[in-house]
Amino acid sequence: MQIKKFTAPTLREAIEQMKDEFGGESIVLSTKVLEENTNGVSVKLFEITAGVDEDGKTLPAISVKGSGKPKKKNVTQEIKNLSDKIYKPAKKFTNPYLQNTQKKVSKVDKVEPRIDELFKLLEQRDVNKSLVKSIVAQLNKYKNILDNKNFDDYIISIISSLIPTAAFEVNKGKGPVIISLIGPTGVGKTTCIAKLAVISKILHNLDIGLITIDTYRLGAMDQLKIFSEISNIDFHVAYEPSDLVRHVKKMKKKDVVFIDTVGRSQNNAKLLHSIKDFLSAVKVDETYLVLSSTVAIKNMVDVARKFRILNYNGFVFTKLDEAVSFGNIVNVANSFKVPVKYLTNGQVIPDDIIAADPDFIARMIYTGKVN
């Protein structure tokens, strides 16, 4: 019996490797998911152990043809032989992922030039240089199994693994989930809340409440008030933390309560603490930091770092339609280990909002387009 391991980014590719080498008569003896970490990048691989008889036929069942009675094979010896072939260390270490694809190497297009070009491309997309190095290191590690057909998909898969995302979940009828949106001035918090409120109400049939503590910006209250009247959503204004407590109690039977906060500069610690005083007065379940995709990475990181005093647990990236590149999304989300919740790409309510998906974001970063 001939036994070999095959490793690939997907189970399908591993099975294709098995069939290319052993033919259609081979069988899968076991499967395993591996995680490799190179320069801080974690990539999942699928490993299968396959077997085929020396004459190209699969192993027979334990019972064999004969007098009609099943005959026992030497199972102990079979297990020992199998174990020796799988686990016995090789004289010289070679990566099985590359070793098992050597026959394919001569058949595929060389991708070294594309890997060299990728470094410049991702830097143009504003991906952090350290992340670019990690991505390129992964590609160089497995370049012998890459070709022009799977090159783009593999890059997107690596970038996707660097982007934490999380879905928004509500258990209807179990009390309100309270969500606050925070961020600098002009990033689109109020418009984002309006989009989320309409989607929650119309598409998910949830009972929604709105509260604003933005009593400073001219027209902010009027904007949400008009929206709430049109949408038939309860709306309140909180001038003091005690007002917020009172309004939340009024909305205790709601499914979701959104709190709109005033935009503040990350450099004004005193005003950031005033927002914290409001939000600390009630139990806020989720706080999303809203960031504009058009902002330079140094500014975006500074905002994300200084707004940490408000204990946010999700990102919303806005104004994709105005951005020229999207690398800052992976830079910030990966650096702060905070999941991306939503993306917005325009002013239309409620259309221009996208639930975060790592593959979608990775493809957007790589292509430079919001597809």
**Residue after which a domain boundary falls, among 105, 125, 149:** 105
Burial class from Cβ neighbours inside 10 Å (0-12, 13-18, 19+) for residue 21 reads middle
pLDDT value, residue 312: 96
- Asked if residue 306 belongs to a domain, the reply is yes
Residue type, 159: I
What is the DSSP code (8-state) at residue 200?
I
The length of the chain in residues reads 371
Token digits for 309? 């005093």
188 Rama sector, left if φ>0, alpha if ψ -120 to 50, beta otherwise:
left
Q: Which pLDDT does position 21 carry in this prediction?
A: 81
177 close to 365: Cβ distance less than 8 angstroms: no
Q: Judge if 85 and 135 occupy the same domain.
A: no
**Same domain? 194 vs 337:** yes
| pLDDT attached to residue 34 | 74
282 assigned to some structural domain: yes
How many helices (H) and strands (E) are present in the chain, helices listed first?
14, 11
CATH code of the domain in which 287 resides: 3.40.50.300
The tally of domains found in the chain comes to 3
Whether residue 170 is contained in a domain is answered as no
Q: Which domain holds residue 118?
A: 112-161
Looking at the fold, whether 88 and 183 belong to one and the same domain comes out as no
Give the 3-state secondary structure of residue 35: strand
Q: Would 169 be classed as within a structural domain? A: no
pLDDT value, residue 220: 65
Q: Is residue 171 part of a domain?
A: no
pLDDT value of position 261: 93
Same domain, 266 and 330: yes
The rounded distance, in Å, linking the Cα atoms of 196 and 186 is: 18
Q: What is the pLDDT of residue 108?
A: 41
Indicate left, alpha or beta for 93 from its phi (over 0: left) and psi (-120 to 50: alpha).
Answer: beta
pLDDT for 75 equals 42
Q: Terminal CA-to-CA distance of the chain, rounded, Å? A: 49
Please report, as a single letter, which amino acid is at residue 29: L
């899968």: which residue's tokens? 28
Considering the domain architecture, whether residues 65 and 155 belong to the same structural domain is answered as no
What are the per-10-residue average pLDDT scores of the chain (371 residues)? 75 77 66 65 71 49 35 44 38 38 45 82 91 88 78 87 87 84 91 89 87 78 80 91 94 93 89 93 95 93 95 95 92 94 87 88 91 71
